[in-house]
Copies of this chain bind each other. A is one copy, B any other.
């Protein structure tokens, strides 16, 4: 397999520039292209690659443009002989398949790609070379895709430190409609309701809503394109959801129907529907792969009160490491109104109690460990 030594990045937004940074760090020569002079200048200033034209076709070109631009940009790049192989990063993978006269580009030198990683912030300044680190990266080769093209795209995934997932393009689009596009829509539809909310009401917001609406902070223009490009699969997923929403509405209307004369069994039926939704939701949620390494390790959470003084965190972690315990994760729970904070340490369950005693003996204020 020919190694990928030179890459053209077409589109230096957040994703394109992040790929460029990852490749540059691995000593791949990267050439940057973008319609926006400003985006190019920022990406170059970040060390993402060169603005100079390469001496000939690069080994690979990565199209990091919005989904609906992929077919046009691809056919144009192929015509110009930009690279030997092509891939993209759009979150919709069945683009340009239909239509009369075929997709309008050479399908043997192109393989669709979709790294499952992102940030809410757009633009090259938000790029990070480690964005794809240990994240899934889907490739959707077809019967037309040449082995050399597939090989080049696989090298890209590897160079970015991502985990390769190979899928059929239609399967990908149906899956991502449920795991990403539908949640994005619902998050936006719900967040919209907050525009009218009383400022007083907004003080009631907890971390649940904050997490639920995080994705709705994404770039509206890009997401209009994504939803429009995957309209069929998103429509199918939303049809199912809309039906369930209607059933839920009927249940709630039945529970709020006035008068003493409403039937008790209707009430019971309505509550049973709510219970089913909640139980099955919990079951569905439980199928999401866990974040932390080997599944057979059990972690415990240790909470320690931390004065907001310089060096206190270092002193705490130094005390932890003197005990020989490795911290798997760590979070600071800041209180906007108080100078002190709470720190949550995620440690192996088998070590939690010993560590809690050790830290308490050293004078730290430690809460009893809880299951993580």
Interface residues of A (CB under 8 A from B): 46, 116-118, 121, 125-126, 128-130, 133-136, 138, 163, 165, 167, 171-172, 174-176, 178-180, 182-195, 197-198, 200-206, 208-218, 220-221, 223-224, 227-228, 231-232, 234-235, 237-242, 244-246, 248-249, 252-253, 255-256, 270-271, 274-275, 277-289, 291-294, 303, 305, 308, 310-311, 313-314, 317-318, 320-321, 324-338, 342, 367-368, 370-371
Interchain residue pairs with CB less than 8 A apart (19)? A46-B368, A138-B204, A165-B204, A178-B194, A179-B194, A179-B204, A179-B206, A179-B209, A180-B209, A183-B208, A187-B281, A195-B287, A211-B214, A216-B281, A224-B278, A239-B249, A242-B242, A292-B334, A317-B317
Instruction: Determine which of B180, B231, B311 lies in contact with A256 in the assembled complex, contact meaning CB atoms within 8 Å.
Output: B231
Contact A337 B370 (CB under 8 A): no
- Taking A130-B333, A178-B193 as known contacts, 8 extra A-B pairs with beta carbons closer than 8 A to each other, sorted by chain A number, are A128-B367, A134-B337, A188-B280, A189-B281, A212-B215, A216-B284, A234-B252, A311-B318
Copies in the complex: 2
What are the 10 tightest A-B residue pairs by CB atom distance, in nearest-first order?
Answer: A188-B281, A175-B201, A194-B284, A220-B278, A314-B317, A134-B335, A311-B321, A235-B252, A191-B284, A211-B211
Most chain B C-beta atoms within 10 Å of own C-beta, residue among A118, A125, A211:
A211
Instruction: Determine which of B188, B224, B282, B289 lies in contact with A188 in the assembled complex, contact meaning CB atoms within 8 Å.
Output: B282
Residues of B within 8 Å of A308, CB to CB, are: 326
Closest to A165 in B: B203
Closest to A183 in B: B212
Within the assembled complex, what's the spacing in Å between the Cα atoms of A180 and B279? 18
Closest to A325 in B: B310
Contact B332 A281 (CB under 8 A): no
Contact A178 B192 (CB under 8 A): no
Chain B nearest Cβ from A35, distance in angstroms:
20
Contact B185 A186 (CB under 8 A): no
Contact B210 A212 (CB under 8 A): no
Residues of B within 8 Å of A370, CB to CB, are: 125-126, 128
Closest to A126 in B: B370
Chain B nearest Cβ from A58, distance in angstroms:
25
Contact B282 A133 (CB under 8 A): no
Residues of B within 8 Å of A195, CB to CB, are: 280, 283-284, 287
